[in-house]
Amino acid sequence: MKLNPIQRRRLLFILLIIIAVALATALALYALQQNINLFYNSSQIAAGQAPLNHELRLGGMVQANSVKRMPHSLAVNFIVRDNAKSVRVSYVGILPDLFREGQAVVVEGKLTVQGVVQADQVLAKHDEKYMPAILK
Amino acid sequence: MLPEIGHFALILAFCFALAQAIIPFVGSYRNAIFSIQLAKPLAHGQLLFILISIACLLYAFMSNDFSVQYVAENSNTDLPLPYKIAALWGAHEGSILLWIAILSLWTNAVAFFSRAIPLVFLARILSLLGILSAGFLLFLLTTSNPFVRFLPNIPAQGVDLNPLLQDPGLAIHPPMLYMGYVGFAVVFAFAVVALLNGRLDATWARWMRPWTIAAWSFLTAGITLGSWWAYRELGWGGWWFWDPVENAAFLPWLMGTALMHSLIVAEKRSLFKSWTILLAIATFSLSLLGTFLVRSGVLISVHAFASDPSRGAFLLQFLVIVIGAALLLYAVRAPGIRGGSYFSLLSRETFLLINNVLLVIIMATILLGTLYPLILDALNLGKISVGPPYFNAVFIPLMIPLLVLMGIGPLSYWREMTMLMLIKRLWLPFIGAILLTVILLYVSTGKLPGAVAMGILLATWIMVSTLQLLIDQLIKRKNISFVRHILGMFLAHLGVAVCVIGITLTSYYKVERDIKMSIGDTLPVGPYHFQFISVNNLQGANYQGVDAVFTVAKTNKIISVLHAEKRIYTAQQTALTEAAIDAGVFRDLYIALGEPLSNNTWSVRIYYKPFVRWIWFGGILMVLGGIAAITNKNKSAVKKYE
Amino acid sequence: MNKLLYAPRYLIPLLVFIILAFFLWRGLTLNPRELPSALLNKSAPVFELPDLMQPQQILTHQIFLGHVSLLNVWSTWCVTCHAEHAFLMELAHTQAVTIYGLDYKDDSAAARQWLAQYGNPYKAIAVDKAGQAAINWGVYGTPETFIIDKKGIIRYKVIGALTPTIWQNQLAPLIQQLQN
């Protein structure tokens, strides 16, 4: 089949675009596979449903009187729980302003063999509308 | 009484919007001059009543009228005056009102500045804007009325504005963002009318361009301010989080950027016509999508508005009707809109096409990442979140070819050119960029780390090749006055380069230390020594707190005294970290207080951020470029120059 | 005007948009903020708390047995609760369901005064000064509302203010079903 210059040009463009889209899709899918964090609650983690050493998110309440700080560093341990089971979390760094015992948090990190979530990041969950006035 | 007047004014504005949507539109197809001429007065009337309603709400804030629920939930007697004004758009209802007001302002701007457009077409454009306005007014009135009263139990005191929002950066960033978002509604209206008319000629493209550039400039300014606000106020020194709300602004920005470039081709070469129309529709669709994502609570975000499914349902229906109708019209009419001129594989047209393709792909990958949690949840595949690593992993590799092209495109010729011609124009900037990168990096640091070298090389490549264009033209024309025709492009591209430098250097050379410090402790960070001097109590208008004093010394000389604050806002009892920043052109020093660990001991976050300000300088340059491009009105001169 | 031309590729944007809209519509019916609630369809957490009106009397989770109950978590410092209160009064009038309150981290005297002033829709109110019971209930903030069936099992949870719409669309049909 003979193509005139305009058809040839169009074919080339379409090929280029398909290649670009394919590359981008592959890149996006690969990156997604590497970087999505599954969400678990503490009961699911306590029941062994979460994978070890894989980025995950844990949501729940910080148990009252469970926050323990190490004396010479910024390391801190606390317990996250729902109404059934609890999970220990260890973190090194500065906790967010809204982090408090009895408040909901989301922890991003990895589950270790000891069943402790080693946190990279601790996020205090809050909704701008329903904030208690007395948080003590 | 005033809140009821405000409410009533909104209803009247809705009636005007509805009339504006229908009468001129129908009239334009029946050649009913009177109906067509009604378009402008209806737009003016709508604006008037919206302004009245805003004035009523503003008065409620100023007079602490806590019987109005919106005021009670977002203000407080102790809230400083500027923030009472900013509180107007500090939460959902008011920000939608602001959105509507801005839409009405744009509509009136179109009515005012578009004298050159035949009245019939102008009437159709104003009608389309009237449809959008009517939709949003209906949304406001039915689901988000800001004038709802608390009766009979009027609270004695308001809840106060969210402390995070009590910052000058916030006060101006939403209006800017909305100016951008909503500005694309004008472009959308132009595109849909082009479809209705069945053609998009060079003149139409020329009319569209300034509106596109104006909306884009506002959006750029809004994103830049938002990034600056997040850096100052969210307390952990980041300037971009790939949060859904940020993405919601970034997606239309990417499409708007593609649209600006394809409009050039449509205007100068009568090509890419239906593609340009599609981009215009897509840009505004992404603005609407962003609004939906933020307001409906379908995604989790740090800036989340309180979610309400009924609001989401309304917005989604509106989105489906408006965008669905536009795309259906596109499917029917676009095949008839054809461009017809020839261009070769090696031409500026091709480079602009690749620019468009890349921008669309980047937009699609970011959209995918933003919506992926929603898609998986909808398919019952689990609750997930997609973090910044995904966005960085896809965004950076896709940006590299785009930045390379930014150096080539402006130096290429329309229609066709040979490879030799291209090489002839490019070899000098290419060598120049490499030399500059080596000199800047190797000479100043003695090292040449790959990632940094890449970023700096791309930035200098853009700068040097844009400069080359300037010099070439100067030599060829021996006349400086043509510069203003490319000034917009020059500044905007320079802005991108400056931004790339900022991002590269701050990402690579930043030093971040989270550490425990007692009063008297000293911490070396880079060439600086931070010393923790004292902690004092603090009393603000609507907060209490502590003020930690640090000194920063370089080679034993104190260069700065910084006050990092921890505030407790009285009304909501929420803690807020107010970072102390010593800003400089080449580096920021950043201190944020963590929490008290014992008497005189705090966890402290100390950052050294080189070149971080260049990110926002770049944004400012892009905005200046936009302004330069709009103000350059002498289009006939552009023709000559091309 | 132009004649209509048929070119299927111009339909692609519309199709992409329809797929997108489908997911957005599905997304609306899901709530990403809702942590998967382990409480749903489980027995109400155990508690022993004093009654607000008669502090000597102790309320326990046993109060929910034998009838369908609505437990509303509220507080006097919560502005949204003020807004919700009028509707709760209305609801109490219709006697569609037995309403209990959980007064969360509140000053009891202020709470009693507030109820005296604006009316008391609750059959009984448990005082949770420390907020410990609320933690067991998985409360994020006020107001929140739970629907508990005759056997004391939690069947539904509403975060945020109760509104006539939520009542009509979600709670009323559920309560009807639970009562039969």
pLDDT band at C144 (very low <50, low <70, confident <90, very high): confident
Mean pLDDT of C102-131: 87
Answer whether residue B85 shows pLDDT above 80. yes
Residue B472 belongs to some domain of the structure: yes
Residue B193 belongs to some domain of the structure: no
Indicate whether B352 and B223 sit together in one domain: yes
C48-179 is classed CATH 3.40.50.2300: no
Subunit contact C141:A131, Cβ cutoff 8 A: yes
Give partners of B (≥3 CB pairs < 8 A): A, C
Q: Which residue has the tokens 């890419």?
A: B272
B136 in Cβ contact with B12 (< 8 Å): no
Indicate whether B542 and B626 sit together in one domain: no
Minimal C-alpha gap between C1 and chain A (Å)? 27
Answer whether residue C161 shows pLDDT above 90. no
Secondary structure (3-state) at B169 = helix
Q: Which residue has the tokens 């649209």?
A: B259
CA distance B30 to B37: 13
Indicate whether B500 and B519 sit together in one domain: no
SS (H, E, C) chain C: CCCCCCCHHHHHHHHHHHHHHHHHHHHHHCCCCCCCCCCCCCECCCCEEEECCCCCCEEEHHHHCCCCEEEEEECCCCHHHHHHHHHHHHHHHHCCCEEEEEEECCCHHHHHHHHHHHCCCCCEEEEECCCHHHHHCCCCCCCEEEEECCCCEEEEEEECCCCHHHHHHHHHHHHHHHHC
Mean pLDDT of B285-305: 73
End-to-end Cα separation, chain B, in angstroms = 61
* Pick from B153, B333, B373: CB nearest C85: B153
* Pick from C38, C105, C160: CB nearest A134: C105
At B298, list the tokens.
């379908």
Mean pLDDT of C132-160: 81
Indicate whether B352 and B438 sit together in one domain: no
Q: Which residue has the higher pLDDT, B155 or B517?
A: B517
Q: What is the pLDDT of residue B441?
A: 84
Q: What is the pLDDT of residue C38?
A: 56
How are beta strands B587-598 and B580-582 bridged, if at all? antiparallel
What DSSP assignment string belongs to B26-57? HHHHHT-HHHHHTHHHHHHHHHHHHHHHHHHH
Most confident of B277-281, B310-314, B537-541: B277-281
Predicted TM-score of the model (pTM): 0.85
Q: Most C CBs within 10 Å: which of B275, B300, B319, B374, as the mutation test of the C interface?
A: B374
Structural domain count of chain B: 4
Q: Which residue has the higher pLDDT, C47 or A96?
A: C47
Indicate whether B443 and B360 sit together in one domain: no
Answer whether residue B152 shows pLDDT above 70. no
Which range (A52-56, B191-195, B393-397, B416-420) has the least confidence? Answer: A52-56
Answer whether residue B637 shows pLDDT above 60. no
Q: Most C CBs within 10 Å: which of A42, A63, A123, A130, as the mutation test of the C interface?
A: A130
CA distance B541 to B80: 7
Indicate whether B134 and B47 sit together in one domain: yes
Answer whether residue B638 shows pLDDT above 50. no
Indicate whether B452 and B493 sit together in one domain: yes
Q: What is the pLDDT of residue C36?
A: 44
Residue B174 belongs to some domain of the structure: no
In this predicted complex, what is the ipTM? 0.88
CA distance C176 to C167: 12
Helix or strand run (H / E) with residue A120: strand A116-124
Which is it for the CA torsion B149, B154, B157, B162, positive or negative? negative
Superfamily the domain A38-124 falls into: Nucleic acid-binding proteins (2.40.50.140)
Spans of all domains in chain C: 48-179
Q: Indicate the burial class of B90 (C-beta count within 10 angstroms; 0-12, 13-18, 19 or more).
A: buried
Residue B628 belongs to some domain of the structure: yes
Quick: pLDDT tens for B19-61. 999 999 999 999 899 999 999 999 999 999 999 999 999 999 9
Range of the domain at B488: 418-506+620-641
Answer whether residue B478 shows pLDDT above 80. no
Indicate whether B437 and B345 sit together in one domain: no
At B241, list the tokens.
């989080």
What angle is formed at CA C170 by the lines to CA C165 and CA C173, rounded to 5 degrees?
Answer: 115
Answer whether residue B4 shows pLDDT above 50. yes
What angle is formed at CA B391 by the lines to CA B389 and CA B396, rounded to 5 degrees?
Answer: 100
Q: Which residue has the higher pLDDT, B155 or A109?
A: A109
Residue B117 belongs to some domain of the structure: yes
Residue B277 belongs to some domain of the structure: yes
Spans of all domains in chain A: 1-36, 38-124
Answer whether residue B230 shows pLDDT above 70. yes
Indicate whether B547 and B500 sit together in one domain: no
End-to-end Cα separation, chain C, in angstroms = 64
Residue B178 belongs to some domain of the structure: no
Reference B170, options B228, B248, B237, B209; nearest CA is B228
Answer whether residue B73 shows pLDDT above 90. no
Indicate whether B229 and B361 sit together in one domain: yes
What's the half-sphere exposure (Cβ side, CA atoms, 13 Å) at C77? 18
Contacts of A94 in chain B (CB under 8 A): 514, 592, 594-595, 603, 605
Q: Most A CBs within 10 Å: which of C16, C30, C31, C35, as the mutation test of the A interface?
A: C35
Q: Which residue has the higher pLDDT, B119 or B575?
A: B119
B611 in Cβ contact with B254 (< 8 Å): no
Comparing alpha-carbon positions, the chain A residue that sits nearest to B518 is A72
B7 in Cβ contact with B145 (< 8 Å): yes
Answer whether residue B633 shows pLDDT above 80. no
Quick: pLDDT tens for B512-561. 888 889 999 999 988 899 999 999 998 888 888 889 999 999 988 999 99
Which range (B126-140, B382-396, B626-640) has the least confidence? Answer: B626-640
The mean pLDDT value of chain B amounts to 88
Subunit contact B361:A24, Cβ cutoff 8 A: yes
Which is it for the CA torsion B192, B196, B197, B199, positive or negative? positive
Q: Which residue has the higher pLDDT, B472 or B41?
A: B41
pLDDT band at A54 (very low <50, low <70, confident <90, very high): confident
The mean pLDDT value of chain A amounts to 79
pLDDT band at A134 (very low <50, low <70, confident <90, very high): very low
Indicate whether B43 and B153 sit together in one domain: yes
Reference B222, options B188, B250, B202, B198; nearest CA is B250
Residues 6+ apart with CB under 8 A from A44: A50, C36
Contacts of C10 in chain B (CB under 8 A): 274, 330-332, 334-335
Q: What is the pLDDT of residue B235?
A: 57
Answer whether residue A127 shows pLDDT above 60. no
pLDDT band at C140 (very low <50, low <70, confident <90, very high): low
Q: B2-30 and B39-62 helices cross at what angle (nearest 10)?
A: 160
Q: What is the pLDDT of residue B384?
A: 76
Q: What is the pLDDT of residue C15?
A: 94
Quick: pLDDT tens for C35-85. 445 567 778 888 889 999 888 888 988 899 889 999 999 888 776 777 788
Which range (B405-414, B419-428, B511-520, C36-45) has the least confidence? Answer: C36-45
Q: What is the pLDDT of residue C122?
A: 93
